[in-house]
Amino acid sequence: MPNANNDLPAPIAERTPQSTDALNHVQRRAVSELLRVSPVADDLARRFQEAGFTLALVGGSVRDALLGRLGNDLDFTTDARPEDVLKIVRPWADAVWEVGIAFGTVGCKKDSFDIEVTTYRSEAYDRTSRKPEVSYGDSIEQDLVRRDFTVNAMAVLLPQKEFVDPHDGLEDLAARVLRTPGTPEESFSDDPLRMMRAARFAAQLDFEVDPAVFAAMKAMSDRIEIVSAERVRDELNKLLLAPHPREGLRLLVDSGLAGHVLPELPALRLESDEHHRHKDVYEHSLTVLEQAIDLEENGPDLVLRLAALLHDIGKPRTRRFEKDGRVSFHHHEVVGAKMTKKRMTALKYSNDLVKDVSRLVELHLRFHGYGTGEWTDSAVRRYVRDAGPQLERLHKLTRSDCTTRNKRKAGALSRAYDGLEERIARLQEQEELEAIRPDLDGNEIMQILGIGPGPEVGKAYKQMLELRLEHGPMEREAAVAALKEWWAAQS
DSSP 292-313: HHHH-SSS--HHHHHHHHHTTT
Mean pLDDT of the 52-75 span: 89
Cα four-point dihedral sign 292, 297, 300, 301: negative
**Which of 274-278, 373-377, 457-461 has the weakest average pLDDT?**
274-278
Domains identified in the chain and CATH numbers: 1-175 (3.30.460.10), 263-435 (1.10.3210), 442-490 (no CATH)
pLDDT band at 187 (very low <50, low <70, confident <90, very high): very high
- pLDDT tier, 340 (very low <50, low <70, confident <90, very high otherwise): very high
Average pLDDT of 191-200?
96
Report the relative pairing of strands 320-321 and 105-110 from DSSP bridges: unpaired
Cα 475 from chain centroid?
47
Q: How far is CA 294 from the centre of its chain?
A: 15
Provide mean pLDDT across the span 355-374: 85
97-106, 235-244, 480-489, range with the lowest pLDDT: 480-489
Amino acid occupying residue 26? V
Nearest-angstrom CA–CA distance, 469 and 451: 25
Report CA-CA distances (Å) from 388 to 86, 145, 433, 436. Answer: 47, 51, 9, 10
State the average pLDDT over residues 152-178: 91
Task: Tell me what pLDDT residue 487 has.
Answer: 85
| Mean pLDDT on 359-383 | 82
Averaged pLDDT score across all residues of the chain: 85
Overall average pLDDT of the 356-364 stretch: 96
Return the pLDDT at 8.
41
CA separation for the pair 203, 247 (Å, rounded): 6
Stretch among 77-91, 120-134, 412-426 having the lowest mean pLDDT:
120-134
Strands (E), 120-248: 121-124, 133-136, 155-158, 162-164, 177-178, 208-209
Q: Give residue 29's pLDDT.
A: 54
Residue 234 has pLDDT above 60, yes or no: yes
Q: Please state the length of the chain.
A: 491
195 class by beta-carbon count within 10 Å (0-12 exposed, 13-18 middle, 19+ buried): buried
Q: Which residues have CB under 8 Å from 328's CB, separation 6+?
A: 318, 319, 320, 322
Report how far residue 182's alpha carbon sits from residue 148's, in angstroms, rounded to the nearest whole number.
9
Question: Which H, E and C letters describe 318-344, residue by residue?
Answer: HCEECCCCCEECCCHHHHHHHHHHHHH
B/e letters for 79-88, b = 16+ CB within 10 Å, e = fewer, are: bbebebbbeb
Phi-psi region of 256 (alpha: psi -120 to 50; beta: other; left: phi over 0): left
Residues 255, 221: contact at Cβ < 8 Å? yes
Question: pLDDT higher for 309 or 316?
Answer: 309
Q: Name which residue leads in pLDDT, 409 or 394.
A: 394
Q: Report the pLDDT averaged over residues 52-66.
A: 91
Q: What is the mean pLDDT of residues 417-441?
A: 74
The percent of residues above 90 in pLDDT, for the chain, comes to 51
Is 189's pLDDT higher than 70? yes
254-297 pLDDT, tens digit per residue, is 999 999 999 999 999 875 544 444 458 999 999 999 999 999 99
Dihedrals φ, ψ of 94, to 5°? -80, -30
Comparing 31-45, 139-153, 175-189, 344-358, which segment has the lowest mean pLDDT? 31-45
Average pLDDT over residues 138-146: 90
Top pLDDT among 440 and 456 is at: 456
Can you point out the beta strands (E) in 125-192?
133-136, 155-158, 162-164, 177-178
- What is the percentage of the chain residues whose pLDDT exceeds 70? 85
Q: Is the model more confident about 30 or about 121?
A: 121
More confident residue, 411 or 128: 411
Greater pLDDT, 270 or 251: 251
> In this predicted model, what pLDDT tens digit does every residue of 4-49 receive, in sequence order?
344 443 333 444 555 455 456 546 656 655 665 578 899 999 999 9
Instruction: State phi, psi for 205 to the nearest 5 degrees.
Output: -105, -5
Helix (H, G, I), strand (E, B) or coil at 121: strand
pLDDT of res. 274: 43
